[in-house]
Structure formats: C-alpha cells, structure tokens
Amino acid sequence: MYYRFGKVFYFLSVLVFLFTLLYFYAALPEQIGFRLDDQGSILRDYAKSTYFYTLAIGFLLLNLVTIYTPKTLETKTNRKLHRLFPIGDPFRDYLLTWFYSFGGWVNLSLALSGLFVHAINNQEVLSASSYNLWFYLMPIILFVWVGGLFVLLFKKFKATQVGVN
C-alpha cells in the first residue's frame, strides 16, 4: 500500500524535474557559467545545449538505475529478490516504497541543481545564496534515505533469522 505513495511521489518528482529543466533552459543565456570567482566573474562556462543534454542524460541514467530494482521485484523478474521479499511480506512494501521515494529524491535533487545553475547565471534576478538551505538539505535527505535502506534491510534480515530458529 505504501509503495503507491512512493510511486506518486516519484512521478510527481519526474514532472517537477521536467518542468524545471525546460523552464530554466529557456531562461538561461547561450553560454552557461558554472564557476564564479570572488568578483562574480564566470571562470568556467559551457554551451546551453551541452548543459541540457548532460542533465537529461544524467536524469535518464539515474532513473534507470534507481527504478530497475523495484520494477524487477514487482514483475518477479529477479527471482532471488522475489524469494527474499515475497508478495504479502510487509518488508516488500517498505522496500518498494523506499526505492520509489529515493528515485523521487534523486529527481528533486537534479531539479535543485537546475535551479542552482539558473541562480548562478541570473544573479540580478535571484541570488544563489537565498537557496543555501536547500543546497545543504538535499544531500542530508539523501544520506538519511540511504541510512533508512540499511535499517530496513537489517530489520528484514533479523526477521528472517528469527523465522529460521
């Protein structure tokens, strides 16, 4: 049941990423700066299309890696994983929820990186420093989410050992 909420969060994050990618891409100049010096001058820049395709390919690769495991569990393609997390097991629902929500957090962090590049290149409209909380919060959330996976797997293995004895 919970994994459906994870799926909804994942698909909403895909929409948020696509919106931010297209919106910020339209608002960026032809040469995009990624590194600034102390005076605010751009030290390293790339073409707008290079940035767009790099972010789009990164999005596709990260989503393929993140969603592969829950899809193989749902479709029973991975027999070892399906044997470990059979249908009806509460940990199966938690694992599916974790993977879909982790994919959502990855997508939101990619959307945040698009916001960051937009903020660097449009300093007169919005300042990148006004989003410092989000730039620090997203890696913390991803770290906590990975820790949650280890807790989930630890509880599953502990429950499996108790069932064997």
Domain boundary assignment for the chain: 2-157
Mean pLDDT of the residues in the chain: 81
Q: Which pLDDT belongs to residue 62? A: 92
pLDDT for 136 beyond 90: no
Local structure of 37: helix, strand or coil: coil
Whether the per-residue pLDDT at 164 is higher than 60: the answer is: no
Q: What is the pLDDT of residue 15?
A: 95
pLDDT in tens, 107-131: 999 998 888 887 777 766 666 666 6
Per DSSP, the residues of 9-43 read HHHHHHHHHHHHHHHHHHHS-SEEEEEE-TTS-EE
Neighbouring CB atoms inside 10 A of 132's CB total 10
